[in-house]
Amino acid sequence: MGAEAGSIANEEVRPARSLWSDAFRRLRRDRLAVLCLLVVLAYAAAALLAQFGWIASPWEQEVGKAFAPPSFDRLELIMGTDFLGRSVLYKVVHGARVAMSVGLLASLISVPIGVLLGATAGYFGGWWDDAVVWFYTTVASIPGIMLLIAITLMLGKGMTAMCIALGATSWVHLARVMRGEFMKHKSREYVVAAESLGAGHSARIFRHIFPNVSHFVIINFSIQFMGAIKAEVILSFLGIGAQGLPSWGVMISDAKDELSRWVFWPWLNGTTPVWWQLAGATSAMFFVVLALNILGDALRDALDPRIK
Amino acid sequence: MTVYLLRKLLGTIPTIFGVALIVFLLFHVVGGDPTYQMLGKYATAEQVAELRHQLGFDQPLHRQFVGFLREIVTFDFGESYATKQKVSRMILDGIVPSLSLTLPAFFLTTLIAVVIGLLVAYFRGRWIDRVTVLLCVLGMSVPVLAYILFGQYFLAYRLQLFPIAGYDPEWPERLVYLALPILISVMVSVGFSVRFYRTALIEETSQDYVRTARAKGLSEPRIYLKHVLKNSLVPIVTNVVMDLPLLVLGAFLLEKFFGIPGLGGITINAVHDSDFQVIKAMTIFQSFLFILGNVLTDVAYTLVDPRVSFDGR
């Protein structure tokens, strides 16, 4: 080893940069993307802290009178209160908890399915490939929202049903991409070399090919996560998603009739319709979806070696 | 052409069978017996047994599957639990209201998106392009529910520019009720469409023939409107044809909020009533439309792009 290293020491050696460190450098240069990453991390941190009950808890508690408008008197009144006098700010934070956990759990289900089915189909080909392609074509033929509604209803509503439904419907795109990449990579020289060194099928799939295509999982993840958050809000709005939890969808559903109710607001020294719960839930959702949108584009630019 | 179309249609049979199988497994195996849910907790044993027999849930699974396939082939899904109407009648009645909302909205969106897409492709990299892309991303990130609620509240309720909700089957009146939902629908989808067409058009402008056209001195408007637009027809038409059958589904939330008696509204009501028969029929119906859309897309490809032949795949 030492002798080999010595023999090339005279030549100019540029340290090789891996795909990941290269991508990280490019991502870091994109200030907007870094900002969006920070926004997503902030939502995740808020969700985690709310989960442990360290902030914004308990959200079920009455903190003032019903439909109190925003005021700076206390932190929990900054976004006003809902029809039971609960803090809208606390509910928005817990809504982030619901949205983030649905996004994460759905991805934990769909990513392994997508990778496993796509990888094995592309790698082995033959009847297994036909079967997998048939399966994902079929799943993709049922309009997403209908399949989501049907699975959630059949599993009996609620968070678990919604996560399983989202996981079971959102793996198709990843499986398609993985299949294509594995078909391309399986006959490349490095894989043939690994085979001649005695690497078995699973070693070739997971140790040799997968690290070379895993960036597609990351790109897919940000888009899928955003889709899951949007779907969570719609399903909860329809009443078959989160039950008894302050989801943004439930909040929007509660808030849609509040706009026709007018209350006195000292800041204006006049009356105002009750808009704060609707505004809180929709803007919380807007910022995280916007950040994920921009981050998804930036990740694709940074990680896809074809766009350099 | 006919042979090609027939072969494509035959090729969808495994997918259609797969869809039927998945929907059957969902509604008859995973969901199980819905009779208790439908009758409530005070039902007598006789009532449960009778309804179960009526719905066919007392039969073995393979018989249930055959029955389900018969329902699909004859397009007869029995009665809705909630409204007691024929399900197939409800679906057929919902198509026209759905289409009168989604068709105009879709063509408006496509028209606007292609025009803006052409403009920003021409100005690409300049500030107007960047601002447009930024606006698209912002627009795509606003929740659909926010568009609907704010649109309905401000434009219809506060400013009274439009009726708040409703539907009139007579023609000029129908448009009065549909104007606001169509406007909101365009707002919701235009951002995504502009980005899609911008990418497609920019890809086209980096082709060699554009350079040739410039070299021989054609004016920029002529290059864009004649050559680039014509060559971009492939992604445009495929995108349009792909989406056409989905328009029948209507816009779930818009129809619910604006009281339009289309398929989307029917579906949401069925979700509220746990009306499984309607949801099952609707899932099948919409999947078939989607599959049909795929076939039409392939056909449209061959019609628009002479390089794709009928003999190939």
- Two structure tokens written together for A13: 């050696």
Which pLDDT band, with edges at 50, 70 and 90, does A183 fall under? very high
For residue A230, the chain B residue with the least C-alpha distance is: B143
**What's residue A179's pLDDT?**
94
The CA distance from B174 to the nearest CA of chain A, in Å, is 25
- Tens digits of per-residue pLDDT, A136-171? 999 988 888 888 888 988 888 888 999 999 999 899
Contact state of A150 with B279 under an 8 Å Cβ cutoff? yes
Contact state of A135 with B279 under an 8 Å Cβ cutoff? no
Report yes or no on A2 lying in a domain.
no
A146, A238, A286 ranked by CB distance to B143: nearest:
A286
- Please list the residues that pair with A62 across neighbouring strands: A86
Give CA separation, A289 vs A36, A81, A212, A294, in Å: 10, 25, 28, 9
Residues in chain B closer than 8 A to A138 (CB atoms) = 14-15, 18-19, 21-22
| CA-based radius of gyration for chain B | 24
Contact state of B271 with A256 under an 8 Å Cβ cutoff? no
* Coil vs helix vs strand at A86: strand
Q: Which of A138, A230, A292 to mutate to test the interface with B (most CBs of B within 10 A)?
A: A138
Q: Which of A151, A153, A225 to mutate to test the interface with B (most CBs of B within 10 A)?
A: A153
Contact state of B140 with A286 under an 8 Å Cβ cutoff? no
**A26-35 mean pLDDT:** 83
- Tens digits of per-residue pLDDT, A262-292? 888 888 888 888 888 999 999 999 999 999 9
Instruction: Check whether the bond before A58 is cis (ω within 30° of 0).
Output: yes
For residue B153, the chain A residue with the least C-alpha distance is: A259
Helix intervals (H) in chain B: 2-11, 13-24, 35-39, 45-55, 61-74, 87-122, 127-141, 144-150, 171-205, 208-215, 220-222, 229-231, 233-247, 252-258, 263-272, 276-304
Residues in chain A closer than 8 A to B145 (CB atoms) = 233-234, 237, 249, 252, 282
Residues in chain A closer than 8 A to B31 (CB atoms) = 153-154
Task: For residue B180, give the nearest of B112, B104, B246, B114 by alpha carbon.
Answer: B104
**A188-211 mean pLDDT:** 89
Q: Does B137 touch chain A (CB under 8 A)?
A: yes
Contacts of A224 (CB under 8 A, 6+ apart): A106, A107, A110, A111, A170, A173, A174
Report yes or no on A8 lying in a domain.
no
Contact state of A286 with B141 under an 8 Å Cβ cutoff? yes
Q: Does A145 touch chain B (CB under 8 A)?
A: yes
- Asked if A248 contacts A281 with a C-beta cutoff of 8 angstroms, the reply is yes
Q: Which amino acid is at A114?
A: G
**What's residue A3's pLDDT?**
46
**What's residue A10's pLDDT?**
53
Contact state of B145 with A151 under an 8 Å Cβ cutoff? no
What is the DSSP code (8-state) at residue A259?
G
A149, A151, A282 ranked by CB distance to B146: nearest:
A282
**A181-206 mean pLDDT:** 90
- Asked if B55 contacts B36 with a C-beta cutoff of 8 angstroms, the reply is no
Give CA separation, B213 vs A159, B218, B304, in Å: 58, 6, 22
**What's residue B248's pLDDT?**
66
Task: Give mean pLDDT in consecutive 10-residue pieces for chain B, a chain of 313 residues.
Answer: 83 91 88 72 77 78 86 84 85 88 89 91 87 91 89 86 81 83 89 88 85 87 84 78 67 86 88 86 89 83 72 50
* CATH code matching the domain that covers B96-264, chosen among 3.30.70.100, 3.40.50.970, 1.10.3720.10, 1.10.287.130: 1.10.3720.10
Q: What angle do CA A205, A208, A212 make, to 5 degrees?
A: 100
Residues in chain A closer than 8 A to B279 (CB atoms) = 146, 149-150, 153
Q: What angle do CA A219, A223, A225 make, to 5 degrees?
A: 110
Determine which helix (DSSP H) or strand (DSSP E) holds A264, and give its type and residue range.
Answer: strand A262-265
**What's residue A5's pLDDT?**
47
B27, B149, B283 ranked by CB distance to A146: nearest:
B283
Other residues' Cβ atoms within 10 Å of the Cβ of residue B219: 11
Tally of structural domains, chain A: 1
CATH number at residue A233: 1.10.3720.10
How many whole angstroms separate alpha carbon B193 and alpha carbon A138?
26
A142, A252, A294 ranked by CB distance to B22: nearest:
A142
Task: For residue A116, give the nearest of A168, A171, A162 by alpha carbon.
Answer: A171
How many whole angstroms separate alpha carbon B99 and alpha carbon B119?
30
Contact state of B143 with A142 under an 8 Å Cβ cutoff? no
Contact state of A142 with B23 under an 8 Å Cβ cutoff? yes
Give CA separation, A247 vs A213, A226, A227, B140, in Å: 35, 15, 16, 21
**How high is the mean pLDDT of chain A?**
86
Range of the domain at A112: 26-307
B141, B274, B291 ranked by CB distance to A141: nearest:
B291
| Comparison of pLDDT for A220 and A4, the residue scoring more | A220
Which pLDDT band, with edges at 50, 70 and 90, does A123 fall under? very high
- Tens digits of per-residue pLDDT, B84-110? 888 888 888 888 888 888 888 888 999
pTM, whole model, 2 decimals? 0.86
Instruction: Give backbone dihedrals phi and psi of B79, rounded to 5 degrees, phi first.
Output: -100, 150
Q: Does B68 touch chain A (CB under 8 A)?
A: no
Q: Which of A36, A154, A155 to mutate to test the interface with B (most CBs of B within 10 A)?
A: A154
The CA distance from B171 to the nearest CA of chain A, in Å, is 30
The CA distance from B146 to the nearest CA of chain A, in Å, is 6
Burial of A306 (0-12, 13-18, 19+ CB in 10 A): exposed
Q: What is the bridge-based pairing of β-strands A262-265 and A270-273?
A: antiparallel
How many whole angstroms separate alpha carbon B64 and alpha carbon B56?
7
pLDDT > 70? residue A307: no
For residue B147, the chain A residue with the least C-alpha distance is: A282
For residue A141, the chain B residue with the least C-alpha distance is: B287
Q: Does B18 touch chain A (CB under 8 A)?
A: yes
How many whole angstroms separate alpha carbon B281 and alpha carbon B74?
12
**Long-range own/partner contacts, residues B27-31 (CB < 8 A, 24 or more apart):** B27/A150, B27/A154, B27/B276, B27/B280, B28/B57, B28/B61, B28/B64, B28/B65, B28/B68, B29/B61, B30/A151, B30/A154, B30/A155, B31/A153, B31/A154, B31/B276
Burial of B201 (0-12, 13-18, 19+ CB in 10 A): buried
pLDDT > 90? residue A129: yes
Please state whether A85 falls in left (phi above 0), alpha (psi between -120 and 50) or beta: left
pLDDT > 70? residue A298: yes
Q: Does B246 touch chain A (CB under 8 A)?
A: yes
Q: Does B30 touch chain A (CB under 8 A)?
A: yes
**What's residue A61's pLDDT?**
81
**What's residue A131's pLDDT?**
94
**What's residue A35's pLDDT?**
92
How many whole angstroms separate alpha carbon B97 and alpha carbon B264?
10
B18, B30, B141 ranked by CB distance to A134: nearest:
B18
| CA-based radius of gyration for chain A | 24
- Asked if B2 contacts B46 with a C-beta cutoff of 8 angstroms, the reply is no
Helix intervals (H) in chain A: 2-7, 19-29, 31-51, 88-124, 126-141, 144-154, 158-169, 172-185, 189-196, 201-202, 210-213, 215-237, 248-255, 276-303
- Asked if A289 contacts A229 with a C-beta cutoff of 8 angstroms, the reply is yes
**What's residue A164's pLDDT?**
92
Which pLDDT band, with edges at 50, 70 and 90, does A99 fall under? very high
Which pLDDT band, with edges at 50, 70 and 90, does A40 fall under? very high
How many whole angstroms separate alpha carbon A16 and alpha carbon B198?
36
What residue spans define the domains of chain B? 96-264
How many whole angstroms separate alpha carbon A305 and alpha carbon A124?
25
